Amino acid sequence: MPLEIVAVPALSDNYIWLVHDPASAETVVVDPGEAAPPLAAAADRGWTITQIWNTHWHPDHVGGNAAIRAATGATITGPAAEADKIGTLDVAVAQGDHVRIGAIVGDILAVGAHTAGHIAIHLPGEQILFTGDTLFAMGCGRLFEGVPADMFAAMAKLAALPGDTRVYCGHEYTVANGRYAVVAEPGNAAAQAALAEAERLRAAGRPTLPTTISAERATNPFMRAASPDELGARRRAKDDFTG
């Protein structure tokens, strides 16, 4: 049976992801910025949370760690390079390491840029990718601890994954990202169509995620940047964009 993935809205615009494996009855919480919403969502479904996966150290992604572990005994896994900033980690992982939910294996990808030790978690057999705040639908994370070359390398690493990989990221930023994307690449019809669809979904109160790697190759101005310099210029422009 395939994994079941539920988007749990939290804070102002975060998504916490609940990932349930029916075969093993394991449930993972990805990037819990707070505890109550994922605990309630799991309880509503009769799921028992057994693990937490963190992509990076920012409080809106780890703030629920301690309370969820206290309530469930869940094991917390996150980036080794940020273990000093995530005091709740039980297991520290880096590029080339693996996580598991039941019999399903996930690969750890180093994608430092938004934060220096940021990781993504790729479940190749399930065509699933959790990107935290590195890759968004039609966007990328701000460069708080990295430089444009770091994000350019991260985008290239993620773009190389199979196109039908479903991407689950940490925030509902798609409409705002899309409004910049159609300015950055005014001739990009795919980005225009993706923005229109995102606006339709949000007007209906629905998430715009997951996206896919193939969609991002076609619409994301940061993944489509030809060089670190171009990515950097686009990131600075997006930081100041008010459209």
As a three-state string, the secondary structure of 138-175 is CEECCCCCCCHHHHHHHHHHHHCCCCCCEEEECECCHH
Catalytically annotated residue among 61, 107, 118, 150: 61
205 dihedral zone (left: phi>0; alpha: psi -120 to 50; beta): left
Q: Is 20 a catalytic residue?
A: no
pLDDT tens-digit readout, 196-240: 999 999 999 999 999 999 999 999 999 999 999 999 999 999 999
CA distances from 180 to 22, 32, 196 (A): 39, 28, 13
Catalytically annotated residue among 60, 107, 118, 122: 60
Q: Which residues are CB-neighbours of 185 under 8 A, at least 6 positions away?
A: 191, 221, 224
Token duo for residue 139: 């966007």
The C-alpha R_g of the chain, in whole angstroms, comes to: 17
Quote the pLDDT of residue 243.
76
Give the mean pLDDT of 65-91.
98
Q: Is 133 a catalytic residue?
A: yes
- Specify whether the CB–CB gap between 21 and 47 falls below 8 A: no
Catalytically annotated residue among 21, 31, 58, 122: 58
- Specify whether the CB–CB gap between 139 and 220 falls below 8 A: yes
Ordered by start, the domain boundaries in the chain are 4-240
- Where does the pLDDT of residue 74 fall: very low under 50, low under 70, confident under 90, or very high at 90 and above? very high
Catalytically annotated residue among 20, 114, 118, 122: 114
CA separation for the pair 196, 181 (Å, rounded): 12
pLDDT tens-digit readout, 79-123: 999 999 999 999 999 999 999 999 999 999 999 999 999 999 999
- Where does the pLDDT of residue 28 fall: very low under 50, low under 70, confident under 90, or very high at 90 and above? very high
Q: Does domain 4-240 have CATH number 3.60.15.10?
A: yes
Catalytically annotated residue among 21, 31, 133, 150: 133
Quote the pLDDT of residue 146.
97
Q: Is 60 a catalytic residue?
A: yes
Catalytically annotated residue among 56, 107, 118, 150: 56
pTM: 0.97
Q: Is 44 a catalytic residue?
A: no
Q: Is 150 a catalytic residue?
A: no
- Where does the pLDDT of residue 60 fall: very low under 50, low under 70, confident under 90, or very high at 90 and above? very high
